[in-house]
Amino acid sequence: MTPHASPLRVAIVGSGPSGYYAVEALLQSGRDVEVDVYDRIPVPFGLVRYGVAPDHQKLKEVTRVFTRFALDPRVGFFGNVTVGRDVSVAELGRLYDAVVIASGAGVDRAMNVPGEDLAGSHAAVDFVGWYNGHPDYRDRCFDLSGEHAVIVGQGNVAIDVCRILAKTADELRKTDIAEHALTTLARSRLKTITIVGRRGPAQMKFTTKELRELGTLPGWDVTLDPADLALDGTSAAEMAAPQSATAAKNIEVLRGFAAKPRSNPREIRFCFFAAPHRLEGEGRVESFVVERTRLSGPAFQQRAEGTGTYRAIAADVVFRSIGYAGLPMPGLPFDGRAKIVPNVAGRVRDADGAVVPRLYVTGWIKRGPTGIIGTNRVDSIETVASLLADDLPRQEGAGGRERASALLRERGVRATSFAHWQAIDRVELERGQAKGKVRDKVIDRDEFLSIASGASGEAETPVAAGVGTT
Ligand code: NAP
């Protein structure tokens, strides 16, 4: 390793789990580092704040760990800064010795079927952002006055959406759910929620804990057609393989659901072997037409093949929860098919496959939207190992935090600091306490900035974490 006169200055774009796990890996490397985390939202923690369901507060506790990293004097935070608009990736590349993109995968995938744009048909991403008080989704409207909801996709996001739809306002009231969502959910008249999968029970993507939890929701039965539990030969072979431990447990949970007599007025139904075909309705969605499928292909690569048999499922509201996709960022290579930034072990590659010097990527934008929060730790450790192995020469006059701060100020960008977030955090906790909730989230960008201004003069002079504002 070459000795250097100045610290290794690293900009990380994105303050979700992969971003802060990259911070951790840099801090623990034993190298002399200075790290700044950028986020387009004025407050940190990305997916943990805006993706994790409000009734799963335990998962959000990881922010305490991220806060410890953020409060290290070597670490700064620039919130309310959109990289690619307020400052370009190339500019960050000149201000810092290395740039790590950890921007996640924040948009929905489309089903590409007729009727998908009817009123009442929504992306789960929008619903999740809305109930979590994400400023970009606060104005979305969800009409839950009908009796039948359909959720398309059988991953953990589908389960989150189902649980939030099924829980009563009283069960959600004490969480940090957005107030507007609580008001709408309290008026919900849903009686059935159908969770549709294009493949079979052996191919569900749920984690067992999440699946089991559906069976504990007061007032709801979980039902399915027991015939769907008879696995075909290839699926049975899949279940016998060691990597299918979760899938095998999931099937046991389904067997338990199927064996339980009905005792509740409302119903969560699992519908398997049903591919989206079209949405129908006069002006708004009324039914969701699916095509019966059969599986074909070798074990672990089985695909859903249409059989030409269709059926309509009553649907007053539809949520497509068929995975997330990354967005291209100006100035960054992008693989439009995989919706990720092309890379090898976190080193960004251009269209010709050549490594782009000093540019790295981690998290969902690196590998796609898979895994749980902790998966990002492993991912960021790999990316930071690549970065450190490159033993980057320091950039002449890079300037890092101080220069970046001056540039943003010059451009009139009202960046927020981690200390500003701490002030917002206190406000949210106090308001929450007054209402008997864990936290009452601020959901308005202007309010974020006004609390930040009140805490330390203007919210336009970014300061390193730990520089007090109280
Ligand atoms: P996911 O786990 O990839 O599930 C996507 C689902 O959509 C699959 O059932 C998939 O079926 C289906 N699908 C994809 N394209 C489809 C199409 N055109 N038509 C019909 N169905 C289609 O994605 P996710 O639920 O969005 O979750 C993203 C990641 O976040 C996952 O790793 C998840 O575990 C994680 N997460 C974790 C938690 C938690 O730990 N509590 C909570 C939320 C999310 P096929 O299998 O047939 O492709």
- Both 185 and 234 in one domain: the answer is yes
Are 106 and 49 a contacting pair, CB within 8 Å? no
Atom 11, ligand 1: residue with shortest CA distance? 153
Residue 174 lies in a domain: yes
The runs of H, that is alpha helices, within 174-244 are 179-186, 208-214, 233-240
What domain range is 53 assigned to? Answer: 8-106+326-467
Q: How far is 182 from 403, CA to CA, in rounded Å?
A: 43
Domain boundary (299, 323, 347) is at 323
Which of 109, 156, 210, 213 gets mutated to test ligand 1 (max ligand atoms within 8 A of its CB)? 156
Provide the Cα torsion 199, 205, 209, 212; round to 10°: -10
- Supply φ then ψ for residue 184, to 5 degrees: -65, -45
- For the CA of 324, the closest atom of ligand 1 is 26
Which residues have a Cβ under 8 Å from the Cβ of 176 and sit 6 or more positions away? 54, 57, 60, 133, 428, 432, 437, 438, 439, 440, 441
SS (H, E, C) 94-134: HHCCEEEECCCCCEECCCCCCCCCCECEEEHHHHHHHHCCC
CA of 155 to the centre of ligand 1 (A): 4
- For the CA of 204, the closest atom of ligand 1 is 9
- For the CA of 303, the closest atom of ligand 1 is 47
CA of 107 to the centre of ligand 1 (A): 13
CA angle 417-423-429, nearest 5°? 135
- Both 215 and 342 in one domain: the answer is no
What is the distance between the terminal CA atoms of the chain, rounded to a whole angstrom? Answer: 41
Query: Which parts of the chain sit beneath pLDDT 50?
Result: 458, 460-470
pLDDT for position 459: 52
pLDDT for position 4: 76
pLDDT for position 454: 83
Residue 1 lies in a domain: no
Domain count, the chain: 2
Atom 2, ligand 1: residue with shortest CA distance? 155
- Both 52 and 180 in one domain: the answer is no
- Supply φ then ψ for residue 47, to 5 degrees: -60, -30
Atom 9, ligand 1: residue with shortest CA distance? 154
β-pair type (33-38, 343-344): unpaired
Atom 33, ligand 1: residue with shortest CA distance? 156
Which of 159, 198, 366 gets mutated to test ligand 1 (max ligand atoms within 8 A of its CB)? 198
Burial class (CB in 10 A: 0-12, 13-18, 19+), 294: middle
Tell me the whole-structure pTM to 2 decimals. Answer: 0.94
- Both 218 and 279 in one domain: the answer is yes
Positive/negative CA dihedral, 80, 83, 85, 90: positive
CA of 54 to the centre of ligand 1 (A): 19
Nearest in space to 54 (alpha carbons), one of 377, 440, 426: 440
CA of 272 to the centre of ligand 1 (A): 15
The binding-site residues of ligand 1, defined as CB within 6 angstroms of any ligand atom, are 111, 152-158, 160, 197-199, 203, 205, 207, 210, 276, 321-324, 369-372
Residue 127 lies in a domain: yes
Can you give the CATH number for the domain in which 460 is found? 3.40.50.720
- For the CA of 375, the closest atom of ligand 1 is 32
CA of 372 to the centre of ligand 1 (A): 12
Residue 442 lies in a domain: yes
Residue 113 lies in a domain: no
